[in-house]
Structure 1
Amino acid sequence: MDTSVPSVAERRVHVAPLGHERDRIVEPLRRHGADVVYLLADAPDREAPRGAVDFEAAGAADPVDTRVDLDRLTDYQRDAWTAAAEFASVRALPVELADVYDVLGVTTTVAARHGAGEEDGDRLFANVSTGPRIAAVGVAMACMIVGARPYSVEPERHRHDVRSEPLTEGVDRTVDLPLYPMDAPTTDQVAVLGRLHERADDNVTTDKWNLIEWARERDLSFLREAGASRTAKYRALETHVLSPLRDRGYVELEDVGRSDTVRLTETGRRVFFAFKHKLGEE
């Protein structure tokens, strides 16, 4: 793990799934001087959209005021929360740990909140050892996208009955995981996915010209230098937005009369939830 000294204004922010662990959550935070800790508590029935984060509730002083279902937590999960709060600011977030896109979206939203990867932002670290494998994948993918540091924690000993005790005990060492760049959708592409999602929810079809008119009203960047002609606008939409989204399986086109209907795929819907933090407060 990167242990170099941060600047005066820089904070170390950690994300850790609150799985069947105690020591592997708490000890790396303590050893490496975590300032802010986001614990991802499993919420398999949560109704919020994938990737949604209520930062105000997460920062509540009383755990009862967070959106986490405290009755679902084991004694050792509660203890991990309490122990981390002794030396760091802990914020608990409900996340469906079995949904890779929810984990991915929440982690990237946290990263955006703290300006991770930006010159004046905080440093973001994420523990991929303390939740189910799907959660680990979501956290690791988020780190690749935002340029954060994932780390793995190897236990000293293993236990087996997670209903009564943590799966492991103690910490042997932490291991850096490799970083790989990920070709994330652009802000314009995420915005178009959001438009398609909104229209689909209203059972309204969307053609290319509808997207162009909508993008023009919102001054999306792909149209700014496209030229005034209708043909140029179509070409810009296809080149910068639809073609890349179609190649990745996020949208589909259907010929309807003289126009093309653009449809959002289920994969595209999930990708929108994972990357909607790019749209900021919108």
Structure 2
Amino acid sequence: MDVTAPRVSERRVHVVPLGHERDRIVTPLREHRADIVYLLADTPNREADRGVVDLDVDFDDPAATRVDPDGLTDYQREAWETVAGFAEVRVLPVELADVYDVLGVTTTVAAHHGAGGDDRAAGARDRTSGTGDRLFANVSTGPRVAAVGVAMACMIVGARPYSVEPETHRHDVREEPLTTGVERTVDLPLYPMDAPTRDQVAILGRLYDRAAQDRTTDKWNLIEWARERDLAFLREAGESRTAKYRALETRVLDPLRERGYVELEPVGRSDTVHLTGIGRRVFFAFQHKLDA
């Protein structure tokens, strides 16, 4: 883990799935002097869209966060209470079995704190902080799907993931934690990952809204909608209709189609643009970009 001292105005922010663990949650946070800790509490079938985070709630009130402490094990509540003794704890409801929910929540937290390359450059910041903070994420404390979501989010935003190896293992998580003690903390490698641009996320959002209204969307509809919102890809496209189509295709639709986020259906002389299932989930994961 990166243990270099943060700047005076920079805080150490950790994202940690609240899985069937205690020591692997608490020990690294205490040892590395976490300032703010986001505990991701498993909330299957939560009401909010995937990746959506309400960061304006009263985190001292579990009811406001929609996290039920009675649904946690004794040792999970103990981990929560212990961390709250030395850091500010913010518990978030997340469906830990949904990689896109975990991914979206983690990238939204990163954007909120101005942590990571693109979000920091965009000027995203915590309202209580004058600058971007340093973000870390524990990939050891939740189910494997959650670990993948957290790790992907770190790759996207340039945060630091870390893995915590236990000293011993337990097996009946209904009675006691899966593991005890900490042998060591290991840095994980960082790989660059291309996240969709703000314009691409906006177009995915437009397609999602239209689909929710059971309405079809062609390319010209997207161009007109993007022009009204002054999306970047049209600003230097010129005034000709052909140039606008070309800008939409090369800078937005072609990359989205290559990644499987949208599909085009020829209808007469035009194309109807459809949002795929994975495109819908990607929109939820990255919709925080629209608020930057």
TM-score with structure 2 length normalisation?
Answer: 0.94
Match of 1:270 in 2: 281
1:177-201 deviation per Cα after TM superposition (whole angstroms, max 9, x unaligned) = 0000001111000000000000000
**Of 154, 157, 163, which aligns to 2:168?**
157
The alpha-carbon deviation at position 124 of structure 1 amounts to: 0.2
CA RMSD of aligned residues (A): 1.0
Q: Secondary structure at the match of 1:55?
A: coil
1:34 aligns with 2:22: no
Q: Distance in 2 between matches of 1:85 and 1:94?
A: 17
Partners of 1:228 and 1:218 in 2: how far apart?
16
Identify the residue that residue 12 of structure 1 maps to in structure 2.
Answer: 12
Give the whole-Å Cα distance in 2 for the aligned partners of 1:206 and 1:131.
Answer: 39
Paired residue secondary structure (1:139): helix
Q: Distance in 2 between matches of 1:219 and 1:62?
A: 40
Q: Given that residues 59 and 91 in structure 2 are in contact (C-alpha distance below 8 angstroms), is that contact kept between their aligned partners in structure 1?
A: no
Map of 2:111 onto structure 1: 112
Quote the Cα distance in structure 2 between the aligned partners of 1:60 and 1:246: 40
The CA distance in 2 between the partners of 1:162 and 1:173, in whole Å, is: 22
CA distance in 2, matches of 1:155, 1:79: 18
C-alpha separation in 2, matches of 1:180 and 1:173: 22
Deviations 1:98-148 (A, max 9, x none): 000000000000000000022731000000000000000000000000000
The equivalent of 1:223 in structure 2 is 234
Moved more, 30-39 or 251-260: 251-260
Checking the alignment, whether the CA contact within 8 Å between 2:23 and 2:181 is kept in structure 1 is yes
Q: Give the aligned partner of residue 71 of structure 2.
A: 72
User: Where in structure 2 are the equivalents of 1:43-82 lying within 5 Å?
Assistant: 43-57=43-57, 59-82=58-81
CA distance in 1, matches of 2:191, 2:214: 38
Give the unaligned 5+ runs of structure 2. Answer: 122-130
Aligned residue identity for 2:200 = Q
Taking structure 1 as the reference length, the TM-score comes to: 0.97
For the residue of structure 2 that corresponds to 1:56, the secondary structure is: coil
Aligned length: 280
The match for 2:215 among 204, 228, 233 is 204
How many Å separate the matches in 1 of 2:8 and 2:63? Answer: 33
Residue 85 of structure 1 deviates from its aligned partner by 0.2
Identical amino acids, percent of aligned pairs:
79
Q: Could you report, residue by residue, the CA deviation over 1:51-101 in whole angstroms, capped at 9, with x for unpaired residues? A: 0111122x4223344211222100000000000000000000000000000
Secondary structure in structure 1 of the residue aligned to 2:146: helix
| Whole-angstrom CA distance in 2 between matches of 1:86 and 1:62 | 16
Q: Indicate conservation of the 8 Å contact 2:62/2:68, yes or no.
A: no
In 2, Cα distance between equivalents of 1:29 and 1:73:
20
Q: Contact between 1:64 and 1:70, CA under 8 Å: does it hold in 2? A: no
Note if contact 1:41-1:93 (Cα within 8 Å) is conserved in structure 2: yes
* Shift of residue 46, structure 1, vs aligned partner: 0.3
Question: In the TM superposition, what whole-angstrom CA distance separates every residue of 1:243-264 from its partner, at most 9, and x where no partner exists?
Answer: 0001111000011112110000
Q: Which moved more, 1:117-126 or 1:63-72?
A: 63-72
Distance in 1 (CA, whole Å) between partners of 2:88 and 2:50 is 24
Shift of 1:203: 0.2
Q: Which residue number in structure 2 is paired with residue 93 of structure 1? A: 92
The residue type paired with residue 176 of structure 2 is E
